[in-house]
Structure 1
C-alpha cells in the first residue's frame, strides 16, 4: 500500500484535520502514513474508520507495551510505566490499585469545589468584557482541580503548564525531551516530599499508601508514571473539551440557542462535543505483537498503529450527517475516551468539569460570542485544540 506523507498536508492538517480525515476515509479505513515531524523513513498505520477503530482499541494483539516489539519511548524510560504503556496483567494490576483511590464517589465529592472554582474564575473574568477563554477558564479550572486532587503545590502550576503542554504537543523533539526530563525530576521530588511529610488526604498520598489484599503496592517508578498520567491527562484533555465545545457552540448559533433555551440538553451537548471535535485526536501508539488484519489491511508484527479517534467519530457509516454539530443527536458509543480496557479512568471527572464550566459560562454570559476565530492550533496528532480562544460578551 502506498504510504501517505501527512507532512504534505501542511498547516491544513492542524487547522482542519476533519477535512483531511474525510479524504482518507473515502480511500479506505486504514492507511500507511508518515506522521508529521517523523523521520523520513518512519511509517505507521492510521485507522480512520469507526468500526475498525473501535475494534483496534480492544484488540489484545495491539500492545501498548513497546518493549514487546523492541520499541522504547523517552517518557517510559524517564517517567516510568503507567496504564497507557502496559498490557495485562500489569495493566490490570495498576488500574486496580489506582481505582481504589480514584473512585466515582471521590469524583462526585468534588462537584461543589468544581463549581466554586468555576464561579471564582468567572467572577474574575467577566468584568473585562472579553478574554482568552483558555487562559481565563478552560486551563485554570482543570489544572486547579487535578492539582488539588493530587496535592500539587499551587506555586508550581505555571511551570508545570509549560512542561505538560510540551510533553503532549511538542513544538520539536528537543523541547519534548527537555519537558519530559523536567517533569520526571519534578514528579520525583513531589513524591519524595509526600513521603517525607506523612499521611495526607489527597489522591497522590492515597496512591503512596494504597495496598492490595495481597500486599501489592506501586513502586517508585510506577508512582511517578501514574502521577504523570493523572496530572497531564487529568487536565490537558479537559482544557480542549471546554475550548472545542465552546467553539462548536459559538460557530453553530442555532445549537447555542437551543441549549440556552433548554439547559437540560447540556449533558447530551457535552457528549456531542466529545464526538464532534474531541480533545484527543489520535490514541497513543499501539504495536502489533503478531500479524493481523484491520479493515482488510494486513499489519505485520512490530508495526505501529495509531487509532484516529477524531477521524472515526466523523465516519458517516456510524453517524448520520457526521459533520453536523447537533446537540440533540444520540452520540452514545463515541470513542472520545477510548474503548476497552484502556477506557479513560478520568472520564467522569472530565464530564463534570466540562459540564460545569460550559453551563456556568452560558448562564452568566448571555451575549457570549467569538472575538476572533482561532488560527493557532496545537501541533501533532495527539491533542486537538486551539492555543487561544478569544471571546467577548
Structure 2
C-alpha cells in the first residue's frame, strides 16, 4: 500500500476521509505514514477502535513534545493539560477540576438557552430566509459562552474569533505562529487583570483556587489553561452543531423521528452525531518514549503518532454498520471526546450546548434545509478538526 497523505489538504480527503480510513483499517489498525522523520509530522497513524483506546491512554505515548522538539521554544500557552504528562498533568487537572465542576456547567444552562434563543431570533428574522448556519449560530453560541465563562470582555471577542480559527486551522495568510503568539500575549494581560480585580468567572476562580497542600496554578499555567479552555471549548462545539445539523438534514426520516420525540431521542442523537461525524478528526500528536506495540505492530521509540478518532468511531469491529447514521444506535464508547487521562474536561458543556442549539434550530425553523444553490461544502483545512467553514441554509 502506498504511504497515505493525511495532511487533510486533498479535496477528496476533506470531502470523505472515512473511505480513506476504511481502506487503511481493512489492512490493519496501525500504519506508518509519510517518510519524514520530523516530529512536526506524524510517522504513524492508529485507525482501529480498540488500538485507539489503548493509544489514547498509553503511558509510553507522551503528549509532552518538549523532548521531541528540543529546539522549539515553549510559550505559556503550551503549559496546559493537553500538552502534559503525569505527574504534571495530574496536578493541573486536579486544580482545574476543583472549579470547572458539573455544578458550574449546569448553572450555565439558562444562559446557553438565552444566547441560543437570541441567535435564532435574529436568524429567523432575516427576510430572505437564508443564512450561514455557522456564522449565525454554530460559531457565536460557544464563543459567547466560553468568553463569558472565562470572563473575557465583550469588545475582545472579535479578536478571539480570529485567533481561535487561526490556531486550529491556519489560513496561510499570516505566519502560523502569529495568532498563537498574539493570543498568548492577550491572555497574559487578562490573567494579570483578573489577579488585580477578580470577578465571578472561571478564570478568576482558577486564580484563587488552592488544593489541600496550598498548591495553585502559576501565572503561566493560568495562561495555558485559559488557552486550552478557549480553543477546545469553542471550536469543538462549533462543529458538533454544524456537523450534527448536516447529518440530520441528510437523513430526513430520522429528523422527523427526532422532532416527534425530543425527550426520548435527543441525547442519543447527539451522541450519534459525535460518533458519525465528530468535530475532532484526529487527536493531537503523541510521541513514543520507547517501542510501543499496538495491534500487533511495533511503533519505534521516538516516533510521532496520530490517533484517528474519526477512523476509530467508524470501526465495524466496534460499531455495526458504522457508516450508517442512526440516532437510535447505542454509540457508547465513541472516542469523540478522547479517552483516559486526556478525556475532554469540557464534554458536559459541549453536550449541553449541542443539545440546546440543535433542538432550538429544528423546532424554530421547521423547514430548515441546506441551500441547494450554495455549491459544494467549504471544508476546514488540516487534519485536526472535521467540519465546514460555512453552512448555507434556508427555511
Q: TM-score range by the shorter chain?
A: over 0.9
Corresponding position: 1:87 with 2:89? no
Tell me what 2:255 maps to. Answer: 256
Aligned partner (choices 77, 92, 116) of residue 118 of structure 1: 116
Unpaired runs of 5+ residues, structure 1, are none
Query: Is the CA contact 2:8–2:14 (under 8 Å) kept in the aligned structure 1?
Result: no
CA distance in 1 between counterparts of 2:76 and 2:218 reads: 14
Unpaired runs of 5+ residues, structure 2, are none
Tell me what 2:363 maps to. Answer: 363
Cα gap change, 1:107 to 1:72, in 2 (>3 Å): farther
Corresponding position: 1:97 with 2:64? no
Corresponding position: 1:47 with 2:46? yes
Query: Is the CA contact 1:66–1:72 (under 8 Å) kept in the aligned structure 2?
Result: no
Q: Kindly indicate which of the two structures has a greater share of residues assigned to helix.
A: 1
Pairs within 5 Å for 1:96-245: 96-128=94-126, 129-172=129-172, 175-196=175-196, 198-245=197-244
For residues 141-177 of structure 1, give each alpha carbon's deviation from its aligned partner in whole angstroms, at most 9, with x where no partner exists. 1010011111001111111111111111113495321
Compute the TM-score of the two structures, normalised by the length of structure 2: 0.94
| Structure 1 range deviating more: 24-33 or 89-98 | 24-33
Query: Is the CA contact 1:30–1:297 (under 8 Å) kept in the aligned structure 2?
Result: yes
Query: Is the CA contact 1:374–1:386 (under 8 Å) kept in the aligned structure 2?
Result: no
C-alpha root-mean-square deviation of aligned residues, in Å?
2.1
Query: Is the CA contact 1:69–1:289 (under 8 Å) kept in the aligned structure 2?
Result: no
Tell me what 2:385 maps to. Answer: 383
* TM-aligned CA deviation for residue 363 of structure 1: 0.9
CA distance in 1 between counterparts of 2:153 and 2:41 reads: 40
CA distance in 1 between counterparts of 2:40 and 2:205 reads: 45
For residues 108-152 of structure 1, give each alpha carbon's deviation from its aligned partner in whole angstroms, at most 9, with x where no partner exists. 011111101100111111121111001000011101001111100
CA distance in 1 between counterparts of 2:359 and 2:179 reads: 34
Which of structure 1's runs of 4+ aligned residues deviate more than 3 A?
5-9, 37-43, 68-74, 172-175
Compute the TM-score of the two structures, normalised by the length of structure 1: 0.95
* TM-aligned CA deviation for residue 9 of structure 1: 7.8
Secondary structure of the 1:381 match is coil
Query: Is the CA contact 2:39–2:69 (under 8 Å) kept in the aligned structure 1?
Result: no
| Structure 1 range deviating more: 101-110 or 166-175 | 166-175
CA distance in 2 between counterparts of 1:173 and 1:57 reads: 33
Aligned residues: 390
Pairs within 5 Å for 1:277-292: 277-292=277-292
Query: Is the CA contact 1:7–1:34 (under 8 Å) kept in the aligned structure 2?
Result: no
Query: Is the CA contact 2:146–2:234 (under 8 Å) kept in the aligned structure 1?
Result: yes
CA distance in 1 between counterparts of 2:267 and 2:381 reads: 29
